[in-house]
Amino acid sequence: MSALSLPIAELARLVQSGSVTAEAVARESLKVIADRRGLNAFLHVSEQATLDRAGELDARRARGEALGPLAGVPIAIKDALCTLDAPTSSGSKILAGWRSPYDATVVARLRAADALLVGKTNMDEFAMGSSNENSAFGPVKNPWDETRIPGGSSGGSAVAVAAGMTLGALGSDTGGSIRQPAALTGTVGIKPSYGRVSRYGLVAFASSLDQVGPFARDVSSAARLLSVIAGHDPRDSTSSTEGVPDYEAACGREVRGLRVGVPEDYFGPGLDPEIADQVRAAIARLEADGARVVPIQMPHTRHGVATYYVLATAEASSNLARFDGVRFGLREERPGADLGALYDATRSAGFGPEVKRRILLGTFVLSAGYYDAYYAQAERVRALIRRDFERAFAEVDVIATPTSPTAAFPLGERVEDPLAMYLADVYTLPASLAGVAALSLPVGRTRAQLPIGLQLIAPAFAEARLLTVAAACERSSA
């Protein structure tokens, strides 16, 4: 049996016991990455560093040392997360070749858990996109149908897992950028509560929304990854001191007696009937397992897209002002060269069209005369969306919805229609605006054999409850 077909906990146990060597796992992962390079999932593969690290793990085990909970497990890292031993480009030519002087906190925690960090994955430039077609280094392709998108912006990480290159990956989710590609590639993706996982070392898009989270092929594997990366980080001022429960143990609990809210606001026009049927069937299986299904209302959901694209672009216009070619970019690669020439070269490489669009929109909504009409109003609507969730969670324990209104669409289909592209995140945006916990897991396929995802949403810091329901869904779908 392939090591890459195992759940994370099982592979880690085999490496810890010496039944499988970390080097063998590393070589298998690197071979699959090389064989499937046509998917364009990776921007950088750390081949020698991965083999060296695997050798160190095997030597430590041979000396009788205990290995961590991710011993020998190959993990991919979204290229928006800083890494000491690999470039961090955030999918942009402006940062091509740039190397961080430190590891992101989540990366450091994976290393401490003895994971094998095999490389950096492709993504929409500065995490702006829903299809992974906005990368300066070309689009990622969906392994279920290479003519289709994998979802974005964490599409490379989702594909690394879905295509069997790695057992897990990290992505970032601002408005759905973990959950939406998880749904479109048939993987499990978790957007933790805001503050649950450190953002230190994440290239910022919208700081009040960004969260780092894991991808895996099964719920318990995603739970183990979340356990490793979650917890307070004094270097992140938004990091919560809330304790981290046993997420893997939560996966084995029953759903009997739990109340599952189903908002009809998420099942309106624009939802593919095939997806609606599969999502409702998954909810019915939860009911058969003893959960109680409760209809709920989320009346401000319809304002989520407009609210998000005002607030997120406003924050992006501020965050991306630092990428001016002086502090980051080509100067890092060629110290001592003429700074004026390098500045001009970096600016000519420039941002891609989607990043430019969002910076311009954000600058506009923050400008004098428009701030109150747009940005301040969007903040008020965000408060109403948050209140919808508070009222819902007074009645139910979790909320179940579709993750995406459609299955993976063809490459190029929506490139010239930004609004149609933005609507791909219509079901994931509200949970991001409210800062609550959410995940997507696969619950079926379309007639064309494309994956369908179910989104589960829980109150802030109720990831354990979320994982209990997700694991029950997984078992009932098997």
The model's confidence at residue 359, banded by pLDDT at 50, 70 and 90, is: very high
324: its two tokens = 């001016």
pLDDT, residue 112, reads 98
Task: Please tell me which residue in 46, 78, 92, 191 is annotated as part of the active site.
Answer: 78
476 belongs to the catalytic site = no
329: left (phi over 0), alpha (psi -120 to 50) or beta: left
Full DSSP string of 292-357: EEEEE--TTGGGHHHHHHHHHHHHHHHHGGG-SSSSSSHHHHSTTS-HHHHHHHHHHH---HHHHH
Task: Please tell me which residue in 153, 198, 317, 440 is annotated as part of the active site.
Answer: 153
Token pair 């906990």 in the structure block, residue: 9
Q: Percent of the chain, pLDDT > 70?
A: 95
Helices 353-365, 304-319: axis angle to 10 degrees equals 100
pLDDT, residue 453, reads 98
442: Cβ–Cβ under 8 A, 6 or more apart, which residues?
182, 183, 186, 187, 188, 451, 452, 453, 454, 477
The pLDDT tens digits of the residues spanning 67-119 come to 999 999 999 999 999 999 999 999 999 998 899 999 999 999 999 999 999 99
The pLDDT tens digits of the residues spanning 458-468 come to 999 999 999 99
CA distance 476 to 478: 6
78 belongs to the catalytic site = yes
330 pLDDT above the threshold of 70: no
pLDDT, residue 350, reads 80
345 pLDDT above the threshold of 70: no
Report the largest interatomic distance among the alpha carbons of the chain, rounded to a whole angstrom.
69
The model's confidence at residue 477, banded by pLDDT at 50, 70 and 90, is: confident
389 pLDDT above the threshold of 60: yes
Task: Please tell me which residue in 29, 90, 130, 177 is annotated as part of the active site.
Answer: 177
| CATH 3.90.1300.10 corresponds to the domain 3-305+376-477 | yes
Domain boundaries, the chain: 3-305+376-477
The model's confidence at residue 326, banded by pLDDT at 50, 70 and 90, is: low
141 belongs to the catalytic site = no
For the whole model, what pTM was predicted?
0.94
pLDDT, residue 231, reads 98
Residue 412's CB is within 10 A of a number of other CB atoms, namely 12
The pLDDT tens digits of the residues spanning 192-222 come to 999 999 999 999 999 999 999 999 999 999 9
340: Cβ–Cβ under 8 A, 6 or more apart, which residues?
none
220: its two tokens = 């318990």
Q: Percent of the chain, pLDDT > 90?
A: 91
CA distance 345 to 323: 13
259: Cβ–Cβ under 8 A, 6 or more apart, which residues?
291, 292, 294, 395, 396, 397, 398
pLDDT, residue 323, reads 79
CA distance 20 to 15: 5
Euclidean distance between the first and the last CA atom of the chain, given in angstroms as a whole number: 20
pLDDT, residue 328, reads 58
The model's confidence at residue 342, banded by pLDDT at 50, 70 and 90, is: very low
Mean pLDDT (the chain) is 94
Token pair 């600058």 in the structure block, residue: 363
